[in-house]
Structures are given as C-alpha cells and as structure tokens.
Amino acid sequence: MKYNNIIYEAKENIGFLTIDRPTKLNALNGETIDEIRDVLAKLRGDDQVRAIIVTGTGDKAFVAGADITEFEDLGLKDGFDFSRKGQAMNRDLEDVGKPSIAAVNGLALGGGLELALSCTFRILSENAKLGLPELGLGAIPGYGGTQRLARIIGKSRALWTMLTGDMIDAQDALQMGLANMVVTQGKLMTTSIEIAKKIIQKAPLAVRMAMMAVHHGTETDLESGLIFEASLANVLLGTQDMREGIAAFLEKRKPNFSGK
C-alpha cells in the first residue's frame, strides 16, 4: 500500500510511525486509519522491529483529533461503523505484540488522545495538550477513549475530562499518571528513542508476555490473573531467551536474545 498520510521507517529494531497531515494538524481520516492498520499488520510479523514510536509531523500537533469533515453527515449505522473502524486501529496498536511509545509533540485531542492511550507509554513534550472535547460537539469519544482513559486515570478524572472539555497540560498529565515522562520539545524524540532502546535490550518474548499479563490479567479477577501470569511464566521456561538470559547472568556478560 502507498502511504499518503503517514510516514513509516524502521531503524535499529525500532519502527517509527509518523502521522503526516500537517495542514490538518495530523487529524485522522479514514484513509489514514487504513494506512496505520496496514503498517501494524506488517509489524505483527516483523521480528526485526521490537518497539514502535508513534508521533505526528511538526511541533503543533501529535494528532488533533478525527477529521470532522468525514463524519458530519453520517447516519446511525455509518456512525457505528466509523467508530468501530477507529477502535480496530487502536486495538491493533495495543495488541501488535510490541511495546509502543506515543511521542506527543503537541495537541492530542479526541482521536489523537485515543491513539496515544492505545500505546504502551506516553512521553510528552512540555507544550503538549491533551483532551477529549467530543461532548461539545454532541458526541462522545468513539475510538476507545471512554474505556481506556477511565482505566488509566480512574473514572472520576476521566469523566471530568470529558464532561468539562478541559484540556490537560503536560505536567498535569504526568501527575495523574496519564503521561510517563515530560521533556522539552527538542528532547522528545531522542528521549523516546532512548527508552525504546532500553526496552529492546530485554528478551522479546518476555516483553510480550509481560504486556499480555498486564493487559489481559487485569481485566479479570485477581486469582484468574495470577493463574494467567503463572502460565505465561511457565511458557518462558522453555525458551532459548530464558536460557541465554540465565547463562549471561552467570557469565557476567550481556545477553544476546534471539526472540526464540
């Protein structure tokens, strides 16, 4: 697929996915969503890429939201399908099996915040502004925002954000656990790359299993989550990576993980 709205490249085991619609503040339209999903489908089977950094072109916006011109005339069925399409994109990102970092370089509103919420981590520039302003348009967040934001910062704070429409600045996002780090704009990408490189030094299968244990185990009761955790830990006992990790520890050297 030829990409008109995104830029994708891979360097040193890191995939860089950039939303590239600067004249629209990187707003998500249907074509952009299709392109993102195409990249994520390819990444699922690409063992060379072990972490993903998602960002937007320029210094004004990560993603300023969904492209309003595409849904202003939607009917009931089309509106449902429109939301499900955005939800599928974010689910693809969440379940791609590789840790992802949202490098939020400006506005992350509506669908943009929902995209960032689907990433494993969020690193914000100091000028970042986050929010879910949909209720002011007579709508609600439809790409997973009502569900993921509440799970990350709690129901009360999530409802406050949606019902007031107030934007969240970078420091407040950090304080409430919505952001993992806040850095200057000039250090946003270098810091994101540093964190990605730290992650990819770990065993790929262990990284994936840890993400599965947290994502799925916390959606059930504690005992079921613990059984799931023990099952995943048991699976890792049979991997080459675990044997390599133990051997490297005993030999006082850096491990050379193969993802097997």
Cβ-based neighbours of 33, under 8 Å, separated by 6 or more: 85, 86, 89
Residue among 9, 12, 134, 244 flagged as catalytic? 134
List the alpha helices (DSSP H) in the chain.
Answer: 30-44, 76-94, 111-117, 145-153, 155-164, 170-175, 188-200, 204-217, 222-236, 240-250
Structure tokens at 31: 């074509």
Q: Is 257 helix (H, G, I), strand (E, B) or coil?
A: coil
Residue among 31, 35, 70, 114 flagged as catalytic? 114
9 is catalytic: no
The continuous run of DSSP H or E covering 179 comes out as: none
Up-side HSE of residue 50: CA atoms within 13 Å toward CB? 21
Q: Are strands 107-109 and 129-131 parallel, antiparallel or unpaired?
A: parallel
Catalytic residue numbers?
114, 134
